Structure 1
Amino acid sequence: MAVQVGRRALFQAVRVQATGRESARSLSCSRQYVRFGKVSPSSRLNGHGARHYSSDPKEDLHVRHLDGEDAGIVVVGINRPKAKNSISKNLVKMMCEAVEDIKNNNKVRSVIICSLVPGIFCAGADLKERAKMHQSEVGPFVSKARALITELGNLPVPTIAAIDGAALGGGLEMALACDIRITSNTAKMGLVETKLAIIPGAGGTQRLPRVISVSLAKELIFAARVVDGTEACRLGLANHSVEQNKSGDAAYLRALELAREINPQGPIAIRMAKLAINQGIEVDLSTGLAIEEACYAQVIPTKDRLEGLSAFKEKRRPHFKGE
């Protein structure tokens, strides 16, 4: 009976996911992020391997939608060089609006989160800004940052964190909310909050044990241990570890390769696969199979499924439209 009730509820949920009409969750964000037009497939955000420096808060986040054969790939670049990409009030506002915009855009097929600053992915919370906050402000700010990272994790499309430098504290928590993590071998990763007599507050205590093992997660968090990209890959914290290149964007380039592998697949199928995995992993197998059934039901009536069958029969590449 419980499975049947869960199945009915999930059918309703996946209909919303499949059509992309999910109502926007309430995140207090203003439209401040910098949005760019189209970009050539081989470049990052400011040219291949190039970075852009600015003290203008409006430059803290760059969002680009790739074009051509890469259409559907969105690259989100953090750009706070003077603050080591630390998470500030302004960055949270800009990121949550970018996430909301991506969530409501059915043309998006995958998202890459990266850094425009050499040697750093995200150093965690902006402690200089935090020190100026009144104690009463800290809790609400952490709650807003947690909500942002949760929304990042709830994006219906695949998300890839390209970690070309240090991802510490909240920076690693942001990466943990992504579906896939790719790191350079020289990158440093760790939940180091216990050094400050606090604990990870944006999902780290929950996501890290789900990504690696409970005992390993406890060890890393208790000891505030930092590991390099090679060790992160060995632990299962990263999917791939690549040797860093001279321009310092090896992880980004590998992430782009992976996004290009995902791009040609059926977009509705990818969304349903992500939903089935994310929801199913949290429940027992019987309920998980019901979730898979509900998600599968959403792809049966699509034009993309018929296009896939026709392409297979005609021995050609399918052209999926997300319909």
Structure 2
Amino acid sequence: MAEFVTLEVTEGVGTIRLDRPKMNAISVQVQAELRAAAAEASERDDVKAVVIYGGERVFAAGNDVKEMAALSYADMVTVSGSVQSAVSAVAAIPKPVVAAITGYALGGGCELALAADIRIAADNATLGQPEVLLGIIPGAGGTQRLSRLVGPSKAKDIIFTGRFVKADEALAIGLVDKLVPAESVYDEAVAWARQFSDAASLAVRAAKESIDRGLEVDLASGLEIERLQFAALFATDDQTNGMQSFVENGPGKAQFEGR
């Protein structure tokens, strides 16, 4: 049984909850438990979308520095793969994923938030990649995902200086997508995730894969990924039933509401 990371499922929403006192430091054990929770969320049919949440006071203040400080270069060659794979396991969940960010999301915590599709943050949250202040660089995707999200110049400013990014700046540069009062963060994230409880899950999965894989290749290759995913959906019941319903009944209520 996991000690620090759990998956709780309610009405189609799976919450991956970090609970490692005091600041949700991401140790090797937490990394293993994150991989397990991400795998379970990916496989369970009753999970339609996922919320990543660290609790009311903090999202995750970074990797476990005390644990890392004792490691040699030879150790880190192996351990760094564990760090990256834990965050990448969250990014690879083939369902919508939203990070509910309270308090600090720093270092590995910021990288975990970057692995989500959407980030909803408290209006007093603080994010950042302060690894250079420890004589290292982000090692769980920060140099790659942050630059893709906010652009290389802004990512270099944040990573080179190691400075903290307050919530209002994070929203302005696109590091987070929405700010809400701290007490509303989790509820807002669940509400966003719950809209997919009745969605055509195969279409959402194909859309996510097309976007994510397309970011890794040139435009022509990305268009080919999209074309193949688009065509593949015509072999599914979701496409047959969805288009038949449209032909027979016209646009439904959900479509008018933007779903």
Q: Give TM-score scaled by structure 2 length.
A: 0.91
Measure how far apart 1:317 and its partner are: 6.6
| 1:221-248 deviations in Å (ceiling 9; x for gaps) | 1111111222111110011111223xxx
The CA distance in 1 between the partners of 2:99 and 2:59, in whole Å, is 9
* Aligned match of 1:36: none
- Mapped pair 1:225 → 2:163: yes
| Alignment-mate amino acid for residue 304 of structure 1 | D
Helix, strand or coil at the partner of 1:262: coil
| 1:94-143 deviations in Å (ceiling 9; x for gaps) | 11111122223344221110012x32100111112223445533332221
| Alignment-mate amino acid for residue 303 of structure 1 | D
* Aligned match of 2:6: 62
- Mapped pair 1:91 → 2:36: no
TM alignment of 1:192-203, pairs within 5 A? 192-203=130-141
- Mapped pair 1:236 → 2:151: no
RMSD: 1.8
The number of equivalent residue pairs is 252
Helix, strand or coil at the partner of 1:75: strand
* Aligned match of 2:239: 305
Of residues 234, 246, 249 in structure 2, which corresponds to 1:314?
249
Q: Give TM-score scaled by structure 1 length.
A: 0.74
The CA distance in 2 between the partners of 1:121 and 1:92, in whole Å, is 15
Verify the 8 A CA contact 1:119 1:187 in the aligned structure 2: no
Verify the 8 A CA contact 1:172 1:190 in the aligned structure 2: yes
The CA distance in 1 between the partners of 2:166 and 2:180, in whole Å, is 11
TM alignment of 1:138-217, pairs within 5 A? 138-217=76-155
| Alignment-mate amino acid for residue 58 of structure 2 | I
Verify the 8 A CA contact 1:157 1:274 in the aligned structure 2: yes
Measure how far apart 1:302 and its partner are: 1.3
The CA distance in 1 between the partners of 2:89 and 2:136, in whole Å, is 23
* Aligned match of 1:263: 197
Larger helix proportion of the pair: 2
* Aligned match of 1:291: 225
The CA distance in 1 between the partners of 2:135 and 2:216, in whole Å, is 30
The CA distance in 1 between the partners of 2:162 and 2:73, in whole Å, is 24
* Aligned match of 1:54: none
Measure how far apart 1:291 and its partner are: 1.1
Unaligned runs of 5+ residues in structure 2 are 255-259
| Alignment-mate amino acid for residue 184 of structure 1 | A
Change (3 A) 1:230 1:192: same
| 1:158-206 deviations in Å (ceiling 9; x for gaps) | 1111101100000001111111111111010000001101111111011
Point out the more displaced range, 144-153 or 161-170: 144-153
The CA distance in 1 between the partners of 2:132 and 2:7, in whole Å, is 33
The CA distance in 2 between the partners of 1:261 and 1:222, in whole Å, is 38
Verify the 8 A CA contact 1:162 1:183 in the aligned structure 2: yes
The CA distance in 1 between the partners of 2:209 and 2:110, in whole Å, is 23
Verify the 8 A CA contact 1:190 1:220 in the aligned structure 2: yes
